[in-house]
Amino acid sequence: MYQGRDTMAILLNNVGYGNAPWRNALGELLPDDVVLTPEDAITPDDVEFALVWDHPLGDLNRYPNLKAILLLGAGTEHIDRETYLPSVPVVRLIDPDVVMEMARYALYWVLHFHRGFDSYQAQQAAQYWHRHQVPTASEFGVTVLGLGQIGAKVAAFIASNGFRVNGWDAAPKSVSGVETFSGADALSDAFEHASVVVNCLPLTMQTHHFLNTHTLSLLPTDAVLVNISRGDVIDEKAVLQFIRQKRIKGAVLDAHSIEPLPSTSALWQHPNVWITPHIAGATKAQSAAKIVVENITRIRNGEAPFPQHLPPCQQFMTKIDVASQS
């Protein structure tokens, strides 16, 4: 039992998704550790690790003995809003099971539009029987935006199913079976033959509304946008405008600027917009907790956790430290 002061503890706060599954999984994997949630009485000096998602801004600075901040999701937008953080590792959560779920989700929609199932659905409503010719998989272009650990897996998985896949990232990347492009000047080349564009870009200050009026204008008119990243990477108003004007074919949106998507949103009503409630890759505590515990073990053994993330406020402090030493 946690007594305070004599026992180091793990702070768990998975805002919006619940702590119970994580607490149970961590209890099985770390039976000798104390796991506390904000509802418990916590002595700040005793917190060794913070396992958080959408944690209250500023609170992580209250724990003087903190060794690491471990995020309970792949995204970093919550931690990136912090104006100051202790100088400890911030560790993203990349669960291979979740990454594969996202890759399968993306492949499903590639198959959906490759085989014209959207057209057949409309034909069924009209009781109209007509077969469509479809290109071979190798002729059907797919572009994946963002070639980090998630995007690279998504691109490689789609390519392994025979599709012609381009990948784009801000920096040069290499993915087996995928033709890769990098930099703003290469975006139009990456889009040139895309019938489906899968967005895997993380949400950062640089990628906010990355898919906007300008970048959407680079897409072929028969392209469908599939967003499995964060809602604010796309400009939803611009996407809807382009669909209405038939400048792109449609959009599959799994992530939205506001979640749940408000009932007043025009996205619900358009027949060429497909909405799913942020389920492309659902984090499951039973598998994800193993990844978190592996990183805790690394840190306790004096090893570096993986993958680390440097929030903007820590980047700023790093620049100050470098400048003061020069």
Pairing of strands 273-275, 250-253: parallel
Which of helix, strand or coil describes residue 298? helix
Q: Which residue of the set 193, 270, 278, 298 is catalytic?
A: 278
Q: Catalytic: 208?
A: no
Report which of 275, 290, 228 is spatially closest to residue 104, judged by C-alpha positions: 228
Which of helix, strand or coil describes residue 100? helix
Q: Which long-range contacts (CB under 8 A, 24 or more apart) does 178-187 make?
A: 178/144, 180/147, 187/215, 187/218
Q: Which residue of the set 230, 256, 270, 300 is catalytic?
A: 230
- Please give the Cα distance from 117 to 216 (Å, whole number): 24
Give phi and psi for 10, each to the nearest 5. Answer: -105, 125
Q: Catalytic: 230?
A: yes
List, as one string, the DSSP characters of 175-222: -TT-EEEESGGGHHHHHTT-SEEEE-----TTTTT-BSHHHHTTS-TT
- Contact (Cβ atoms closer than 8 angstroms) between residue 258 and residue 231: yes
Give the active site residues: 230, 278
